[in-house]
Structure 1
Amino acid sequence: MIPSMKKNGALLALFGLASAGLVALTFQGTKDKIAEQQRLQLLATLDQIIPAEGYDNALHDSCKALTSPQYLGSPAPQQAFVATEQGEPVAVAIEATAPDGYNGDIHIIVGVSWSGEILGVRTLSHNETPGLGDWIETRRSDWVSSFEGYRLETATDSRFAVKRDGGDFDQFTGATITPRAFVGAVKNALIYFDRNKESILLAPGCGETL
């Protein structure tokens, strides 16, 4: 009995090691592809929120690491991509997090001109309920385009709220928490930009925070 148990235990241990090795090899073989896909997706998103004809630098290479739990929604550094033309800043795409989504964090990116006009907003990732909260995705609706052209007048600008709360932005049928959180994250990102636009240029590069 005991020799048989030892044999089975050894077989299980070998199987576990083999499985772990296979997972490690699979990860090593796919991580570069995943990273490349993420890079291409980011490039496509940046092109959607900051018109390429408006700047002359390599936008994805101009990454700055910004940290503001209060306004960017996370204690971890958020990425910002500064668009320049002839060396002068003309726009920035700032990542932010809405920590109060219905099912957790909603990660967004806000494109804003250096004068403060929203150029575009996109959802990067979320866990909101399919069929309700996922209207923040462009494949489901054009709701995120309703931010374009807005400027933050003051930190208490009441337009940056869903209509149920007296603001300008539609809530979704059966789902108010998601758009409320999203609008709040956009507003906070704009407040951060308005108060820190010059220091953004002096922020460390994204790789420098690693």
Structure 2
Amino acid sequence: MALPCVEKHINSSIYQSLSLAFAVGISSALLLGLNIITEPAIAQRVNEDKLAAIDLVMPQQHYSNSLLATEHSFSIDDRTYTVYNALNKQQQSSGYVVQLSAKGYAGPINLLVGVNAELSITGVRVLNHSETPGLGDKIELAKNPWILSFNDKSLANTTSKGWAVKKDGGEFDQFTGATITPRAVVNAVHQALLDLNTKQGS
């Protein structure tokens, strides 16, 4: 049986507050320690995922440097791009990998675009999107080969009018029942090439 003075001490608000603070402190320390231990592995996994996506739009034979180390961004008007510079063995520019966003039917469509030094497209892939399953999601290579129609396109071999879906008089197919999505992707990729070209000339 606890003494009355001990029960009073245990039931006091100060004791309860100190106990709670101690428990929170221990939990925070454990979480911090776990974060420190796992942070390098998480960072490595993120980098591996980035490189895997980059490899889909910029084949490794096109560059010899560490692309992730060249990450930077630039903005033109309200458009912001994340860019990775590809360099050949002579450390000369051999292309770029550009991350950008298009305004889709159901929200942003995040894209990765690879181009060579002449700004000819080496590949385009969708990183993530919220488009309608069975309609707009045909921008995914796993659902439809449509995204491959960008390969080898450039400002030099495709007119401004050609950078549109066929419904708008362009060269790119649209999807039955979902014209907004491919139109958004085509417009965003075309604008990215125009902005890259502007950036190169500046």
> Is the structural similarity TM-score above 0.5?
yes
The TM-score bracket by the shorter chain reads 0.7 to 0.9
TM-superposed deviation, 1:142: 1.6
SS in 2 for 1:67: strand
- 1:4 matched to which residue of 2? none
Equivalent in the alignment of 1:37: 45
Q: Is the 8 A contact 1:155 1:191 kept in 2?
A: no
Residue from 54, 62, 80 that aligns with 1:54:
62
Q: Structure 2-normalised TM-score?
A: 0.76
Aligned residue for 2:93? Answer: 89
What's 2:189 paired with? 186
Taking structure 1 as reference, are residues 159 and 143 closer, same or farther at Cα in structure 2, changes over 3 Å only? same
Structure 2 unaligned residues grouped into runs of 5+: 1-15
Counting only pairs closer than 5 Å after superposition, residues 49-128 of structure 1 correspond to structure 2 as 49-70=57-78, 73-74=79-80, 78-85=81-88, 86-98=90-102, 100-128=103-131
Q: CA deviation at 1:125?
A: 1.6
Mapped to 2, the partners of 1:48 and 1:132 lie a distance apart of 23
Shift of residue 119, structure 1, vs aligned partner: 0.7
How far is the alpha carbon of 1:149 from its aligned partner? 0.8
CA distance in 2 between partners of 1:49 and 1:166 (Å): 27
SS of 2:186's equivalent?
helix
What amino acid does structure 1 have at the position aligned with 2:171? D
Amino acid at match of 1:87: Q
What value does the CA root-mean-square deviation take over the aligned residues? 2.8
> Residues 135-192 of structure 1: CA distance to partner in whole angstroms, max 9, x if unpaired?
1112212211100011113997111101110111111111111100000000000001
> One-letter code of the match for 1:39?
N
Highest relative contact order (Cα 8 Å, sep 6+), 1 or 2? 1
Amino acid at match of 2:194: I
Q: Which residue of structure 1 aligns with residue 143 of structure 2?
A: 140
Which aligned segments of 4 or more residues in structure 1 are displaced greater than 6 angstroms?
A: none
TM-score by length of 1: 0.73
Amino acid at match of 1:52: Q
Q: Which has the larger radius of gyration?
A: 2
**1:33/1:176 CA distance change after superposition, 3 Å:** farther
